[in-house]
Structure 1
Amino acid sequence: MSEGLPALDLGVLLVYLLGVTVWGAWLGRGQTGGRDYFLGNRDLPWWAVMLSVVATETSTLTFLSIPGISYLGTLAFLQVTFGYLFGRVVVAGVLLPSYHRGELTTAYELLERRFGVGTRRLTSVIFMITRLLADSVRLFATAIPLALLTGWSYPVAVAVIGLLTVIYTYFGGIRAVVWVDVAQMLLYLFGAVVAAVVLQSVVAGGWSQIFATAGAAGKLQVFDLSLDLGVAYTLPAGLLGGAFLSMGSHGADQLTVQRLLTCRSLRDSQRALVGSGVLVIVQFAIFLVVGLGLWAFYQGRAFDASDEIFARFIVDELPAGLTGLLVAGVLAAAMSSLSSSINALASASAYDLWAPLAGARDDDAGILRAGRVFTLVWSVLLVGGALVFLRIGEGAAAVEVALGVSSMVYGGLLGAFALALFSERADARSVAVGIVVGIGFVTWIWATRRSALAWPWFVLVGTLLATATGWLLGGRRGRPTD
């Protein structure tokens, strides 16, 4: 580890950290209620929401883990993003109209209108547990480059990121989250471009030689038509598995749905969602290509963990000033994801749990006060969770760990929404059992390793099981009207 930051890098990093924290807190001035704090008064421009969605879902794991995946393998991970786009198109056409009908405050309010408040609470709690686990991994992954660069321990690095993020999230609410996300996404994409430019100069022959060498080694492969369900990155797994994963993460997860509800209209929400799918493909392609450049630069050298490859390049190979800029980019990605999680978790806690129990559904000011308390609570839990995940598995990329955790759960949640929209038989009891069966079976597969099923298939399997179970166990009382 480094003994300390050069003065120029330290200055770049501190200016960014302090500037974004103060700006984010300032954006929250004048808030009077939960509608503004959590939904931005439904008045945010679609393009800002689109960039915020991309910044939130890709986070530091894109910056660090995706280059490591292509370093060790090929460009085949890109197949998953094609499914991501298809899944968003489905959500835009099927779920978003239901969310905008009736001015919903969280994704799970839709389930309450169909199955009752118990189902809303159950699905909201599942969302909370999933986000806590997955985003704890993301937060820890971010501490890697900061620890490498500064010589701090991982716990100290996690605490610094968490403290600064919670300040602007607490005061700024969703407006701060979205607008800071916009700036942070532009910063870390700029960091990727900087890395690509540096690789052009440090690898003999530049990018033409990188692509030639990678092609000869078979690393430019994008499509794998294999039907082996145990292989994660194939075209069938990418299109089907990626689509269902995207439907779960962008249609049944409050983290993304909350942003889409801040748009001014249904059409704006649809534009933000589908546009984010296109941007994600471009962004993943950029980081996968950076991984090929790193492979050529290090000549395929082995590393202890794939997530450290890009971090090591940033620390050891970039000139003063640029190192600080790219580390600021890493922190930008991390803080955007963390702030989004904190605000979404606080929103679900205030609207789905606290307000119904306290009889305060219409108390907008009370929801704001409760939301800020939940913001602090979830911040502490996420930082604590990151410390628990200090060891995320030998040789595993953090992005795959986080996606695997989410994939175990999204199927059960997505099945509940499918039953709400399309089944006349399902009721609260059958939906609850379906959720448990869908999540339980996929978790059993993952925990016991008794099946070779790769993680991109988890959401599809969980959705089918949850939907089938809920339909079979349901009654025939008919579907309520809105």
Structure 2
Amino acid sequence: MQTIDIVVIIVYLLCSAWLGLKLSGRQRDVKDYFIGNRELPWWAVCLSVVATETSALTVISVPGVAYLGDVTFLQVAVGYLLGRIVVAFLLLPRYYRGEMTTAYAYLGLRFGRGMQATASVTFLFTRLLADGVRLFAAAIPMKIILDSIGLEVSYFAIVAIMGVVTILYTLVGGIRAVVWVDVLQMGLYCVGGVVALVVIATSLDVNFLAVAAEEGKTRFLDFTSNPISAPYATVTAVLGGALLSTASHGADQLIVQRLLGCRTLRDAQKAVIVSGVVVFVQFALFLTVGLALYSYFERATVEQLGMSTSDELFPVFIAEGLPAGLSGLLLAGIMAAAMSTLSSSLSALSSSTMADLYEKFSRRRLEGEQALRMSRLFTLGWGLVFIGAAAMFTGTDNPVVELGLSVASITYGGLLGAFFLGLWVRRARQIDAAIAFAVAVATMAWLFLFEPGLVGFTWYTAIGSAITLGLGYLLSRRHREDSPTADADADPSPATRH
């Protein structure tokens, strides 16, 4: 690690803030601030979606998944594409028909403001934990490299620096700044991944793909593992990935907010489906980096290399194996991945807090500059909370990408099940949905905390959805078929419009 690497990182941080502010333009109102006045091009939204969900977890942890095992993780991306198709044609039309600014406005229309608030609060809590993991993941390689050159810097300090820069351009520029900086950041970390792969491949005396094939690491499909406990057994990975993607891209405000920024429903559908293809390619890139690292480190185990987890493999290579300047580029790429997710989360959290909680329960409808100021205050507040949440994580025994997906999946199933309950069970009322949702989340939290090995994390969304939908249906049988209930396809009330 040399001076030029530090310069590259500092230049990246300054450019991110400047570009975000420069590209965002002046925000006129809340609709402009949160969904870009629905004027964003679909391809930019597509790349922003990918950058948002990729985060630093993919960059540093997915190579470790291939290093320890094989490339069966790629099956999850196949499920992701299938789930996005469901979102495009089942859920997006309802959001666009109602001119909504949050995913949970649909639940408010269908069941009532209590369910809307429940879903929104759940989203806030889950996003805080999951993206706290993501921010912590980005700090891992930075700390490893700074420690190697004698700079003892805490995880908190690293997280705080990334957080402050991200808060700055998100606070001022809104969703436009987030989307356009996401596009640039995605390009940076993908270029970094390609550069790393080329450097590793050219430094080896052997064909790393041949070595990986010899060790059975190029296996893509897995029909032999237990589909209940093995997260990457084919049925589990594809089905679990499809349901996880349906929930994350159809019931999570983090992604839905971007899709609502497209000019038309057709543009939003293109953005979400094409993003699935791009994610598959990205996973393939970083899994291939992991296979190359297996030959680079001469097939050594993590313990033999003196590391505590596989998440350190790629960062150590960045510190020791890349020429001066390229190390800084790769680190900037990892920071870019983390900051793109954080900026997206800040925008989504503030929009959900504003529309689903503040306006609903204060019964105050702010307009113009006053609403914009309040939205920015929420953005600032959540940014500070995120920095604190990320500082709580100090390590993990499993690849951090699995920890992040597991945390998010605790509530994804309940959220997706609530949407399906509203769509398919017309007798269901708010109390039915709320009870079923609470039972589903409690069950998944118990599995995550006390029985983490009982089922693979890729089953979490499926189990949670089944509990919510099944229990909600049974509870709905108490009501007469002609009992009054909100129409799932009706236009939203004025309170849900923006």
TM-score (norm 1): 0.96
The answer to whether the aligner puts 1:27 opposite 2:23 as a matched pair is yes
Aligned residue in 2 for 1:73: 69
Deviation at 1:319, TM superposition (A): 0.6
Q: Could you tell me which amino acid in structure 1 is paired with residue 470 of structure 2?
A: A
Aligned residue in 1 for 2:208: 210
Deviation at 1:26, TM superposition (A): 2.5
Q: Please say which of residues 303-312 and 283-292 is displaced more in the overlay.
A: 303-312
The answer to whether the aligner puts 1:354 opposite 2:358 as a matched pair is yes
Q: What is the SS of the residue equivalent to 2:18? A: helix
Provide the rounded CA distance (Å) in 1 between the counterparts of 2:227 and 2:254: 32
Gap runs ≥5 in structure 1: none
Q: Could you tell me which amino acid in structure 2 is paired with residue 379 of structure 1?
A: G
The answer to whether the aligner puts 1:255 opposite 2:288 as a matched pair is no
Q: Could you tell me which amino acid in structure 2 is paired with residue 220 of structure 1?
A: T
* CA deviations over 1:228-275 (Å, ceiling 9, x no partner): 310110110111111110111011100000000000000000000000
Aligned residue in 1 for 2:38: 42
Deviation at 1:478, TM superposition (A): 5.2
Aligned residue in 1 for 2:493: none
Deviation at 1:444, TM superposition (A): 1.5
The answer to whether the aligner puts 1:469 opposite 2:460 as a matched pair is no
Aligned residue in 2 for 1:228: 227
Q: Could you tell me which amino acid in structure 2 is paired with residue 399 of structure 1?
A: V
Could you tell me which of 56, 78, 81 is aligned with 2:52?
56
Counting only pairs closer than 5 Å after superposition, residues 414-453 of structure 1 correspond to structure 2 as: 414-449=416-451, 452-453=454-455
The answer to whether the aligner puts 1:409 opposite 2:411 as a matched pair is yes
CA contact (8 A) 2:40 2:262 kept: yes
Q: What is the SS of the residue equivalent to 1:95? A: helix
Q: Could you tell me which amino acid in structure 1 is paired with residue 266 of structure 2?
A: R
CA contact (8 A) 1:433 1:470 kept: yes
Aligned residue in 2 for 1:280: 279
CA contact (8 A) 1:415 1:467 kept: yes
Deviation at 1:470, TM superposition (A): 1.1
* CA deviations over 1:201-238 (Å, ceiling 9, x no partner): 21113xxx101111111011010013531011011011
* CA deviations over 1:92-135 (Å, ceiling 9, x no partner): 11000000012001000001111111111010000000000000
CA contact (8 A) 2:81 2:276 kept: yes
Provide the rounded CA distance (Å) in 1 between the counterparts of 2:235 and 2:484: 36
Q: Could you tell me which amino acid in structure 2 is paired with residue 327 of structure 1?
A: L
Provide the rounded CA distance (Å) in 1 between the counterparts of 2:453 and 2:308: 27
Aligned residue in 2 for 1:116: 112
CA contact (8 A) 2:227 2:236 kept: no
Deviation at 1:148, TM superposition (A): 2.0
Q: Could you tell me which amino acid in structure 2 is paired with residue 252 of structure 1?
A: A
Deviation at 1:364, TM superposition (A): 4.2
* CA deviations over 1:278-311 (Å, ceiling 9, x no partner): 1111110010000000011001222311111101
CA contact (8 A) 1:97 1:266 kept: yes
Q: Could you tell me which amino acid in structure 2 is paired with residue 338 of structure 1?
A: L
The answer to whether the aligner puts 1:318 opposite 2:325 as a matched pair is no
Aligned residue in 2 for 1:480: 486
Counting only pairs closer than 5 Å after superposition, residues 328-367 of structure 1 correspond to structure 2 as: 328-361=332-365, 363-367=367-371
Deviation at 1:445, TM superposition (A): 1.8
CA contact (8 A) 2:111 2:486 kept: no
Gap runs ≥5 in structure 2: 491-498
Root-mean-square deviation over aligned CA pairs: 1.3
CA contact (8 A) 2:227 2:235 kept: no
Q: Could you tell me which amino acid in structure 2 is paired with residue 232 of structure 1?
A: P
Q: Could you tell me which amino acid in structure 2 is paired with residue 246 of structure 1?
A: S
Provide the rounded CA distance (Å) in 2 between the counterparts of 1:464 and 1:293: 40
